[in-house]
A and B are shown apart, each in its own frame.
Chain A
């Protein structure tokens, strides 16, 4: 892990300790081992991609990083200090923001209310402290424009936005609230090609701004477009852990798809083809006769 790319720290001062580090993280639910011995390092200005099939343990890992679960074993360090989060709020306070697959947004609420949910701006004193509606609406609008989306109506319920727009609102929110590490949980999973492109652009914009990004996906093509470092998780364990310089898209796709297992499967399928081919040829031979009638 120590030989990872330290050159990509970009416009921030080089740190001795990474923004976020996991050492030998494990998690069990009863007798089910969801994660085992996971190492992860996130530096500022770097996109770390976590790839894995469904059920590989990606979601469990994010939940540990986000502070929703505590790990059963291993160490979790932020800025080199061990931490033990008991709620997402504590992780947020250390600058670790998660954009969940469901985006943690309330569909029926207006965009600006969602933007500030849980961190509302207020004015006034004592029991009469009230929401600073004008300021929240203005800031939400400004921040979204900065991200390049111009919503026609900041009062529209979030449920009326497109999937890509919702993602960007969630990312803009995390960045505005001082995120240093941005965890994106499958941001492109439910999106079309164009919308995915929009989201990937913001991922790279966030990296340029000096944030550490953890990008969870099961799409190696999306990952390879923005990633600096790749970790593939399989059945709760690290299958691959390499910087971009040592990896090609084909390698990544190969590992992601199951690597050696897939080779074996392919081999097996090729053998199985032969006996099926003959009857097909026979059937094809009867074709013209039937049509001739």
Chain B
């Protein structure tokens, strides 16, 4: 700023390039968006089920789809941010259960107001996230190994501690405890819009996805997340606190796991300690279908939300079409493969100009 570079004659390279390139059309610009592939996919899936399954067309079915999407989608918000930051978290699925167990057992064992348990669970979830990030940053091991270890350890702890405290593999019903009704209102209630019942998680999902998108696109931290995922060494060289960003991202996943765990707890009153396994891959699936690169530095939270919505539609659509429920995962898997191929193709086509 303090120096004025004497402008050298405009380089022929620059202007020549400008002549050859021209401006990208609006359509091309749109096609370079990471979430385009998933948007097209969502429209196709919606059209298919809308055509073949009559029950799919009702408003009630639609809110059910939104609810199914939100249970995956809330976690996918955190997982997508983390993936854009260049890492992923295999422990996310069981961490949700850990959080629910922590809240339930802490409040039940000490006979406290459930909100104390909820706060305790928040601390536990953030600590798990912190630990994932801290170990990753300190050991420089790939996140696959760090979070796989965390996943296995948490799975063991979930069942082991539950058996120690409760004596069985699931927690006690806490629905009669103090503060339960308020907590349920926050985490697991439903409200009515235009005569249709909508689960509150759908609202939270939108809030989290909106907030995360704002952070990603319009704040310094968002810029850092893309940079850390895109090229860690470059980011460090220009002064981005890489370690803090990564730990923060793991803690964000922890926060989302806490929220999802609280939803499970106040929805069903008890938590099964062996659940959650495999869900981490669904979160990753949603993020990747939504256009996030597994290698980091590219993608959006909106894309991950669309990815979760595709999952919700497939899951409910297959039931509503009267097909065997077991086919859900086949279709989700095929969708993932297709989405990855289409996303990659769209990206190269759009960049070819």
Interface, chain A (partner B; CB < 8 A) = 66, 68, 87-89, 92, 98, 100, 102-109, 113, 116-120, 122, 129-131, 133, 146-153, 155, 160, 162, 164-165, 175-179, 194-195, 198, 201-202, 205-206, 208-211
* Complex partner residue of A198 from B3, B11, B214, B238, CB under 8 angstroms: B11
Q: What residues of B have a CB within 8 angstroms of the CB of A66 in the complex? A: 237
| Contact (Cβ within 8 A) A147 B5 | yes
> Given that A175-B5, A176-B1 are contacting pairs, would A122 and B226 also be in contact in the complex, using a CB cutoff of 8 Å?
no
> Given that A105-B234, A178-B1 are contacting pairs, would A165 and B226 also be in contact in the complex, using a CB cutoff of 8 Å?
no
* Complex partner residue of B21 from A98, A149, A152, CB under 8 angstroms: A152
| Contact (Cβ within 8 A) A194 B13 | yes
| Contact (Cβ within 8 A) B9 A100 | no
Q: Which 3 A-B pairs have the closest CB atoms?
A: A118-B238, A106-B230, A118-B239
Q: What residues of B have a CB within 8 angstroms of the CB of A133 in the complex? A: 218
| Contact (Cβ within 8 A) B5 A129 | no
Q: What residues of A have a CB within 8 angstroms of the CB of B235 in the complex? A: 106, 117-118
> Given that A117-B238, A122-B220 are contacting pairs, would A164 and B3 also be in contact in the complex, using a CB cutoff of 8 Å?
no
Q: Is B24 an interface residue (CB 8 A)?
A: yes
List the A residue with the shortest CB-CB distance to B351: A160
19 further interface pairs, Cβ-Cβ under 8 Å (given A88-B238, A131-B223): A66-B237, A88-B236, A100-B234, A100-B237, A106-B297, A108-B230, A117-B223, A122-B220, A130-B219, A148-B14, A152-B21, A153-B24, A164-B13, A179-B3, A194-B13, A195-B13, A198-B11, A209-B5, A209-B6
Q: What residues of A have a CB within 8 angstroms of the CB of B29 in the complex? A: 155
| Contact (Cβ within 8 A) A210 B3 | yes
Shortest C-beta distance, B151 to chain A (Å), equals 28
* Complex partner residue of A150 from B2, B18, B22, B23, CB under 8 angstroms: B18
> Given that A131-B219, A160-B351 are contacting pairs, would A117 and B227 also be in contact in the complex, using a CB cutoff of 8 Å?
yes
| Contact (Cβ within 8 A) B9 A148 | yes
Shortest C-beta distance, B351 to chain A (Å), equals 7
Task: Tell me the dominant secondary structure on chain A's binding face.
Answer: loop
Q: Is B138 an interface residue (CB 8 A)?
A: no
Q: Is B15 an interface residue (CB 8 A)?
A: yes
List the B residue with the shortest CB-CB distance to A131: B218
- What's the Cα separation between A194 and B152 when bound, in Å? 56
> Given that A117-B223, A150-B10, A164-B13 are contacting pairs, would A98 and B3 also be in contact in the complex, using a CB cutoff of 8 Å?
no
Q: What residues of B have a CB within 8 angstroms of the CB of A108 in the complex? A: 226, 230, 297-298
> Given that A106-B231, A175-B3 are contacting pairs, would A148 and B226 also be in contact in the complex, using a CB cutoff of 8 Å?
no
| Contact (Cβ within 8 A) A117 B8 | no
Chain B 230-269, CB within 8 Å of chain A: the 1/0 string?
1101111111100000000000000000000000000000
Q: What residues of A have a CB within 8 angstroms of the CB of B297 in the complex? A: 106, 108-109
| Contact (Cβ within 8 A) A149 B14 | yes
Total of A-B residue pairs, C-beta within 8 Å: 140
* Complex partner residue of A104 from B6, B22, B219, B237, CB under 8 angstroms: B237
Shortest C-beta distance, B35 to chain A (Å), equals 15
Of the A-B pairs whose beta carbons lie under 8 Å apart in the complex, a sample of 28, sorted by A's number, is A98-B237, A106-B231, A106-B297, A109-B227, A109-B297, A113-B227, A118-B235, A120-B223, A129-B219, A130-B218, A130-B219, A146-B4, A147-B8, A148-B9, A150-B10, A150-B15, A152-B22, A155-B29, A178-B3, A194-B13, A198-B11, A198-B13, A201-B8, A202-B8, A206-B5, A208-B5, A209-B5, A211-B3
User: Which residues 137-167 of B sit at the A interface, judged by CB distance below 8 A?
Assistant: none
| Contact (Cβ within 8 A) B11 A148 | yes
| Contact (Cβ within 8 A) A146 B220 | no
* Complex partner residue of B23 from A89, A152, A162, CB under 8 angstroms: A152
- What's the Cα separation between A1 and B9 when bound, in Å? 36
Q: What residues of A have a CB within 8 angstroms of the CB of B237 in the complex? A: 66, 68, 88, 98, 100, 104
- What's the Cα separation between A151 and B23 when bound, in Å? 10
List the A residue with the shortest CB-CB distance to B29: A155
> Given that A117-B227, A120-B223, A152-B17 are contacting pairs, would A146 and B7 also be in contact in the complex, using a CB cutoff of 8 Å?
yes
Shortest C-beta distance, B282 to chain A (Å), equals 26
Q: What residues of A have a CB within 8 angstroms of the CB of B11 in the complex? A: 148-149, 198, 201
List the A residue with the shortest CB-CB distance to B10: A148
* Complex partner residue of A107 from B6, B10, B231, CB under 8 angstroms: B231
| Contact (Cβ within 8 A) B220 A120 | yes
| Contact (Cβ within 8 A) B1 A208 | no
Shortest C-beta distance, A271 to chain B (Å), equals 47
Q: What residues of A have a CB within 8 angstroms of the CB of B4 in the complex? A: 146, 209
